Amino acid sequence: MENDSIVNEVTQTLQDTTALSQMTQGIKYVATTPVSDWLPQMVHDYVVPLGLKLLAAIIVLLLGRWIIKLIKKWMANGLMSRHGDATLHSFLSNLVSVVLYFILIIAIVGILGINTSSLVALLASAGLAVGMSLGGTLQNFAGGVLIVMFRPFKVGDFISSQGFEGKVNEIQIFNTHILTVDNKEVILPNGALATGALTNYSKQGTRRVDWTFSIAYGDDYDKAKAVLRRLCDDDHRIQKSPEPFVELIKLNDSSVDITVRAWVDAADYWGVFFSMNEKVYKTFAQEGLNIPFPQVDVHMK
């Protein structure tokens, strides 16, 4: 074993000496030889091949980007024409884009003469290390896959989650973009959307609108009930089956509270809600019904 170690050390020393000798000879040659003698040879042996590789890499980069855009456009047209599914298109478009750009980078690196197998192994090791440290990111990717598979919501739905609500604008690989009613874009992680509580207001075609209207003690309850039923019947957006529900819900401290529940198309929810509030306020005044405010009677002796 000792002899093998000595032989290896001697061999390494000879190799280092040879390399140093070749380098020294090269420096002497460059220093003592006119530039016109060695420069053309250097350009021919090193500069021209490197320039050709760089030119080829640039051409492949431009051509690859054009092909990727073409593939994404073809996918968009195919998916939308066959399924009309903006959710699947958004997710797959982002996923395919990442994969294709990764392949393009590997191809360019190979053209430049770098060993791609070593690079792939290095990237795989780095990816494993990054993946272990960024568990949340992988969870978001898995969440995106679950959203596309099980469809708790889709692009265009109005959802509420994590304290935010708005219309789903785009579903990407790691995040979902929603647009709030006041035109703010909120980015939510897919992992939390796939595993946490979520309300989808667009999942069903109809929604129930709930109101609570109050009249003063001493007002005619039957008249108030009839007025509320009439207002519901007059609004064509309110469905007749099931018929609107109008009943006394609570005898409050300062008011008699009447609840109204009506079914409408999901798209008409807010229009009906605000319209009924305005109609009740105006009609109660015309019918002699009072909308009370909190009050306290004080008796002094």
Give the pLDDT score at 80.
58
* pLDDT the model gives residue 83: 57
Q: How far apart are CA 111 and CA 113, in angstroms?
A: 5
Write the CATH number of the domain with boundaries 206-286. Answer: 3.30.70.100
Q: Give the phi and the psi of residue 216 in degrees, each rounded to 5.
A: -80, 155
Domain ranges of the chain: 40-133, 139-200, 206-286
Query: Is 82 in contact with 147 (CB distance < 8 Å)?
Result: no
pLDDT at 94: 72
pLDDT tens digits, residue range 15-34? 556 655 655 665 655 556 56
Residue 228: predicted pLDDT:
96
More confident position, 134 or 247: 247
Q: How far apart are CA 145 and CA 176, in angstroms?
A: 12
Per-residue pLDDT at 286 = 94
Please check the confidence at residue 237 and state whether its pLDDT lies above 90.
Answer: yes
Question: How high is the pLDDT of residue 135?
Answer: 54
pLDDT at position 141? 80
Whether 3 has a pLDDT exceeding 60, the answer reads no
State how far Cα 141 lies from the chain centre. Answer: 10
pLDDT of 20 reads 59
CATH number at 139-200? 2.30.30.60
CATH topology of domain 40-133: Helix Hairpins (1.10.287)
Quote the pLDDT of residue 149. Answer: 81
The DSSP bridge pattern shows strands 206-215 and 164-171 to be unpaired
The 10s digit of each residue's pLDDT in 105-152 is: 877 777 777 665 665 666 666 565 555 544 567 788 888 888 888 888
| DSSP SS3 for 1 | coil
Q: In angstroms, what CA-CA distances link 199 with 165, 203, 293?
A: 9, 9, 34
Question: What pLDDT, on the 0 to 100 scale, is given for residue 268?
Answer: 94
| Residue 258 confidence class, pLDDT cut points 50, 70, 90 | very high
Identify the sign of the CA torsion 29, 31, 35, 40. Answer: positive
- Please report which confidence band the pLDDT of residue 1 belongs to, taking 50, 70 and 90 as the band edges: low
User: Does 163 score more than 80 pLDDT?
Assistant: yes
Helices assigned H by DSSP within 197-268? 221-234
Q: What is the pLDDT of residue 295?
A: 73
pLDDT value, residue 122: 62
Tokens 């005044």 belong to 285
pLDDT classification of 168: cutoffs 50, 70, 90: very high
Q: What mean pLDDT comes out for the span 190-200?
A: 90
Task: Report pLDDT for 85.
Answer: 60
